[in-house]
Amino acid sequence: MSMNMSKMMKQVQKMQADMAKMQEELGNRTVDCTAGGGVVKAVVNGKQELLSIEIKPEAVNPEDVEILQDLIMAAVNGALSQSRDMVNNEMSKLTGGLKLPGLF
Please state the separation of Cα 83 from the chain's center in Å. Answer: 2
Decide if domain 2-95 falls under CATH 1.10.10.10. Answer: no
Give domain limits for the chain.
2-95
User: Model pTM greater than 0.85?
Assistant: no
Q: Is 82's pLDDT higher than 90?
A: yes
**pLDDT confidence of residue 100:** 56
Q: Average per-residue pLDDT in the chain?
A: 88
**pLDDT confidence of residue 94:** 77
Task: List all residues 6 or more positions away from 98 whose beta carbon is below 8 Å from its beta carbon.
Answer: none
Task: List all residues 6 or more positions away from 33 whose beta carbon is below 8 Å from its beta carbon.
Answer: 41, 42, 44, 74, 75, 76, 77, 78, 79, 81, 82
Closest by Cα among 69, 59, 57 to 36: 59
**pLDDT confidence of residue 85:** 94
